[in-house]
Amino acid sequence: MTFDPVDFLTDAVPIDSTETVEPMREFLVGTLSDHGVEATVDDAGNIVATRGSGDPHVVLNTHIDTVPPHVPYERGPARDDEATGGEVIRGRGSCDAKGPLAALLSAFLAVDPDGGRVTLAVTPDEETLSTGAAALDLAADYYVVGEPTGLDVCNAAKGRFQGTITLGGENAHAAEPDDGVNAVSALREVVDALETFDGRSDAPGVHADLGGPTLTPTTVDGGTATNQIPAECEVVVDRRSVPPETSEGFRSAISAHLRDYVPDDVTVTFDLTDRESPFLEAFSTPADDPLVTTLAAAAGGEVRPFTAATEASYFAADAPTVVFGPGYLADEEGAVAHSDREYVPVDEVREAAEAVEATLDALRD
């Protein structure tokens, strides 16, 4: 039976994968079975299938969950606001990430595994906690992570950490402010600390591919009554990291930096947000790595960083890793992935499949 990635995508996009991935998982496992490949579903909900048994071992990874709400399927000529002159498939998951899945699946089924091994590993919760990807232990030589990159090969991405700064003071009547310690007032020093954090001598600095890290306060919560000196204030911060910074390194560094800025009579602590899985940390694969150069030559795209955090973070510490696929996170008109205008160019789905297949073949030579 011949596999057509566009036919697969036409069937996959109408399957709602927002609240549960089970129908999509059953469809994917069934498709693999129809093509003579038996897949397993592990305790973390990952779909894993392998062909061949030699070296090198290449893992093709992407995810089947999508963000809500579900957007209906449509197929037809591109509209004026869509970045292609050909046919597109619209709907939730068309580019993030069922389009990339269709391309990776096509290459997985088409390649001759003799002289190498290829594994398809599809995760269930990339859009939330990535517990599936965190549980994978595949010991591969290369990883290709499917996301919408417009056929560019993305060899690096920033990480994302989140945590809460907690300031502690002492309650008092607002009419007698000197009787208390105002935790909210210390926000002035916290903002100064955040703005100077990446200027310290041991900061990670500017990365050659990713640029500098960012540190952004996003929400503030403090006080319990309008006529009372607030004894507590919390500030949530978003960190977009670059190598070699780790989540633990960030936690330790910002804790010390804040203490240097916040007044001595205000307590200050910083805690990373509790997660069931590790944070997605920054990664960078050298631009001259064979995986990068081979896939870029096959796809005809650029080599550049990916602009969002991805599950590639979990694999890059073990082996060269790239992010690649058809479609766009955003185009000139605005957001594409996660938006109500999500679409993927049909030609790019086929081109991505052919490029990955050619790369698998070349890496075995």
Is residue 65 flagged as an active site residue? yes
For residue 290, which phi and psi values (nearest 5 degrees)? -55, -35
Q: How far is CA 260 from the centre of its chain?
A: 33
Residue tagged active-site, from 16, 65, 351, 357 = 65
Three-state secondary structure along 99-152?
A: HHHHHHHHHHHHCCCCCCEEEEEEECCCCCCCHHHHHCCCCCCEEEEECCCCCC
Torsional sign, CA 293, 298, 303, 307: negative
The model carries a pTM of 0.91
Sequential DSSP letters for 1-15? ----HHHHHHHHTTS
Q: Which of 131, 135, 137, 132 is nearest to 119 (CA)?
A: 137
| Strands of 214-222's sheet in order across | 214-222, 232-241, 159-168, 267-272
Q: What is the pLDDT along the chain (365 residues), one digit of tens a residue?
A: 799 999 999 999 999 999 999 999 999 999 999 999 999 999 999 999 999 988 999 999 999 999 999 999 999 999 999 988 899 999 999 999 999 999 999 999 999 888 899 999 999 999 999 999 999 999 999 999 999 999 999 999 999 999 999 999 999 999 999 999 999 999 999 999 999 999 999 898 999 989 999 999 999 999 999 999 999 999 999 999 999 999 999 999 999 999 999 999 999 999 999 999 999 999 999 999 999 999 999 999 999 999 888 999 999 989 999 999 999 999 999 999 999 999 999 999 999 999 999 999 999 87
Residue tagged active-site, from 82, 96, 125, 126 = 126
The helix/strand/coil state of 47 is strand
Is residue 126 flagged as an active site residue? yes
